[in-house]
Structure 1
Amino acid sequence: MTSVGFIGLGIMGGPMAVNLVKAGYDVIGYDVSPARGAALTQAGGQVATGIAEVVQKAEIVVTMVRDSADVEAVALGEEGILANARPGQLYVDMSSISPKTAREVAEAGKVLSVRVLDAPVSGGEAGAVEGSLSIMVGGDAEDFEAARPLLEVVGATVVHVGPHGAGQTVKAANQLIVAGTIELVAEAIVFLEAYGVDTEAAVRVLAGGLAGNRILDRKAAGMLARRFEPGFRIDLHHKDMGIVTSAAREAGVVIPLGSAVAQLIAALKAQGDGGLDHSALLKLVEQLSGRSAG
């Protein structure tokens, strides 16, 4: 039974760690908010008192934390993962961070003979619970093969996309597409409602045609009902759009539509809606259209 240390037991990391326990892995978790470990303990996992304990007891260490700064603190800090890791140990970061940070962590791991992969995910809370995430992995091919059995427990689509940092680059592209698609679905809903169309019927037929997409499948019902409980918060998508716009600028790539959506997400966050699901872009479309919510 392979032992896995899982750091970050929030909306995404919590159910992922539980799925690993269900698959037979010996999981020891840690989160800065101790209450988040309850589900893991109930499933049969353990909860550690700190990062050092996790790393020392695990063969593979996984992180799922908020942003680049958190990964740097958890991985590179004086009491962090690399400070406690053993040569040959495998560290898989599944957070969504900048490609540059992913490469820096991998280089720091290489100096200590620690194998590092960047393996961000897409699929939201539902995908984490179902074990159906899409996982894009950057790093050495042999390390990817070593991590594959674990990744295939939490994800349905697991693909090695290139060297260190490549996983995060693909995730940035993913977030660009997701943000743009949510915005277009939001605009379509407000447009349909303005004409008194049966929106549930409209969504059903749109989802079956060329306009069909996962946002219509997973998010449209909540958008129609104005339910914006977070599966993926505006705050986090704001962070991710900062990553993709910065990376695009560095590469000399123009993303005019993506930049516009990034500003809309920033506006929603500035209005105090950062804790809502990213499908709450619908609220902003309504405001800009002069239509009241609900």
Structure 2
Amino acid sequence: MIISHAVLKLKYIRYDRGVIIVTSISPRTRALQPTAYTLAGQTVVFDQAVTALSEYASPAYVPKQSEYPALQPELAATVDEVYRGPAPIDGRLREVTVWQTAVGVQIDVDAQPVCQLDIDQAAIHLLCSDGLGSRVNLEVITGPALILLLQRRSIYCLHAGAVHSRAGVIAMVAESGAGKSTLSAHDAEDWRQVSDDLLPVRLSGDGDSSEVSLLPDYPQLKLPNARVAWLPSQAFALDYLVRINPQPAEVFECRRLPLQSAMLQLIRHTVAAKLFDASSLAAHAEFAKRFCQCVPAFEIAYPRALDQLPDLRQQLVDALLTT
């Protein structure tokens, strides 16, 4: 459906195609120093320093002023509404609307434009004047906006907690409130939290040599300093996918998921999948199939009792090692 909507159409010059760029529409940011960060293994250059992302700064990469665009806003007459619905942002549900424009994708929150993406040029443009200090803006930029650009590089982001355990690396997916953050919380040397909420993953290889890599360097904005306590310096293989049943059980239960069920859980818990276009949806389905062919998936149910968490974690590890 094509409808009228006041959307800013942005013209600019791009230089380094290997870098993702985040710019502000505010002219005052031109005097600030562009700063590079490593997020999901990609260099992301903001046109100013972002305090909340300081743990991910990439001092080895020194961006040039010419590597981010000068913006010339124009009004686009028509856009196509791609998605409208509630999403948790900055501690409460807000209405998110996504538009397809002539130059890319625009994301609005509570009827206010937040940012516009140029997918082909790997650029995100902040449209509102309150800047990157706004929690809403930062969650949108590091959430759906950046995730849509990463998808074009075959990196998908799961709404998942993850841990490094005796059994290997476990990704845990679940509906909100089902307990994945609690279960995956950092505990000890043999239960190190790798992700609290957002988990970028990537496939490499073909056929029997396929491997799913976890990219741990991604902002976990719900945690202090936006990072887990133990942040590995490089990607490593993902060994298991575990779905947490939202219904509690009287005792710990673990069962292997068949391929189709595992794919459904992976697709359901991929962040921003509702915003994918037709070609991206097809690529995502193929990714889910290959992912679940090389990573065994399980479903667990357990009592919701905090004092049993250490035992539950050990039961999960033992079940994965013996199943």
TM-score, normalization: structure 2?
A: 0.26
**Quick one: higher RCO (CA 8 Å, sep 6+), 1 or 2?**
2
Q: Which has the higher strand share?
A: 2
